[in-house]
Amino acid sequence: MENIFNNLHGSKILITGGLGFVGSNIAHACVQYGAKVTIFDCLDPKSGGNMQNIEEIKNDVEIVLNDVRNFEPICEKILRKDFIFHCAAYTSHPQSMKDPVVDIDVNCKGTINVLEAVRRFNPDIKVIYIGTSTQIGKMLLGHIDELHPEFPLDIYSANKTVAEKYVLIYGKAYNIRTTVIRLSNTYGPRSNIVSSDFGFMNYFIGLGLKGKEIPVYGDGVQLRNINYVEDAVEAMLLAALNEKSNQEVYFAVSDEHLTIDDIAQTISTHIGGYVRYIEWPIERRIIEIGDMRINNKKIKAELDWLPKHDIAAGLKKTKAYYESCLEKYIR
């Protein structure tokens, strides 16, 4: 059977935030399938970009060191592209509470800049926007799907909600092909593993790789959905190539729901380190969302996507990657 991703061959792709975790993994996949990739990233240290993330493909991509808050450079690079994966974001939940204006500038103004550039200069491009499960806030129903009410608990999640709505509004109002893929606790190679600001699971992995203490707040019984980055990337590529996804929102999440304690213990087993239970920091307690049970039926049915990695398989691949270049991520 023909690999659908071979349809990316020869296509021209722009990835904002392409030096970061998810963006760089998209870049690797697109290069693998023969696409011509432009990476647009400002390497803001608070957003997780790392040149090491594209070390293996640096001669196969165009790298533009610039910021989505700057309109003209985005307009220039949007020209003659077939797809844009908008991954650029100010990603820290706690930092967004301390510095909300910057979060608004990057996540809201930056997204408007991208959408305006598309509207004015390349309305035929397909736009894939990365959302987050934390837009939901606390789970109010028995499970979470794309129709669940959204009451985010921190500025980052609120701004991601707003930016997602911009994407959908532009899609409907200007007949632009836009798709939102919401991710949840994505982990794997090329993440920032030294700060909890970029997701607890990748932070736990970094601690495990160094044989250090893995801190679990309270008893760690709250449920989370986790997702290996290769599976997340496949979801975004499928969305790009399938016209059914236009003006739609999808949760691209795994079938696994594990407690934070289970996740920490599994990381300790497969990666390293040891688990220690500590008191909740106040700044974390006030933005804690509780259990998250997320339904992925829509993306399975409409885009024929299936997550392929359980946590053990994902951690095995993650460990193999970092063991070869760990010093590039912990310095």
**Could you give the number of structural domains in the chain?**
1
In a domain, 1, yes or no: no
**pLDDT at residue 230, rounded to an integer:** 98
Where residue 24 sits, what CATH number does that domain have? 3.40.50.720
63-119 tens-digit pLDDT: 999 999 999 999 999 999 999 999 999 988 888 999 999 999 999 999 999 999 999
In a domain, 189, yes or no: yes
Helix axes 311-323, 200-209, angle to 10 degrees: 50
Q: Which two tokens stand for residue 147?
A: 């129709």
pTM of the model: 0.95
Say if 2 falls within a structural domain.
no
pLDDT band (50, 70, 90) for residue 1: very low
More confident site: 95 or 38: 38
Dihedral in degrees, nearest 10, Cα atoms 254, 247, 108, 223: -20
| Sign of the torsion angle spanned by Cα atoms 54, 60, 66, 71 | negative
Residue 2's pLDDT is 57
> In the numeric block, which tokens belong to residue 30?
């697109």
Helix H or strand E segment including 23:
helix 21-32
Instruction: Write out the residue range of the structural domain in which residue 260 sits.
Output: 7-330
* Residues 33/67, Cβ–Cβ less than 8 Å: no
Decide if 53 contacts 61 (C-beta within 8 A).
Answer: no
